[in-house]
Amino acid sequence: MGLTAVLGDITTMKVDAIVNAANSALAGGGGVDGAIHSAAGPTVLEECQAIIAKQGSCPTGTAVATFAGELPATWVIHTVGPKWHEHDPIENGTLLATCYYSSLDVAAEVGATTVAFAAISTGVYGFPRELAAPIAVSTILDWLSQNKQTTSVETVTLACFDSENLRHCQQALVEMT
């Protein structure tokens, strides 16, 4: 079991599951969400629409899975991160950690062994990257430790789209491992 951070485009990663920073309507959008929907083709949006039709919008902190369409991954796990301006910093941290826990739980449910995360909430949702990275790293390490005897998940990658996010994630990894 392990956690790494890499500079790269999550839409090109050959892993079992990628984790998308989704909106509550699972409708695609800007940033990584739009890039994933665009690269995956229409079937991912169709599956997202079916999920919304069945259960309604996805609350912050929850995660759901769809097949990955035309992506090299098998699954897309969509998680709804907190919008920084809607919560106090402590609640934001708790909600962000819940996104990582929920996503890893869903990854285990679908039998994924390799999982890659986009940086949840650090784009248009405004979560400061320097605060998000340590939460992501500590939460993933905690989940892996708690579930090491029972999970299919073996390797988790933080897919950083730019060098700033990579620097924050690598620093958090050094401090926590």
Token digits of residue 43 = 């079937």
pLDDT above 80: residue 1: no
Residue-range domain boundaries for the chain: 2-176
Burial label for 138, CB within 10 Å (0-12, 13-18, 19+), is: middle
Each residue's pLDDT tens digit, 65-81: 999 999 999 999 999 99
pTM of the model: 0.96
Q: How far apart are CA 167 and CA 105, in angstroms?
A: 27
Tell me the CATH number for domain 2-176. Answer: 3.40.220.10
Q: How far apart are CA 134 and CA 145, in angstroms?
A: 16
Each residue's pLDDT tens digit, 82-104: 999 999 999 999 999 999 999 99
Q: Mind telling me the catalytic residues?
A: 33
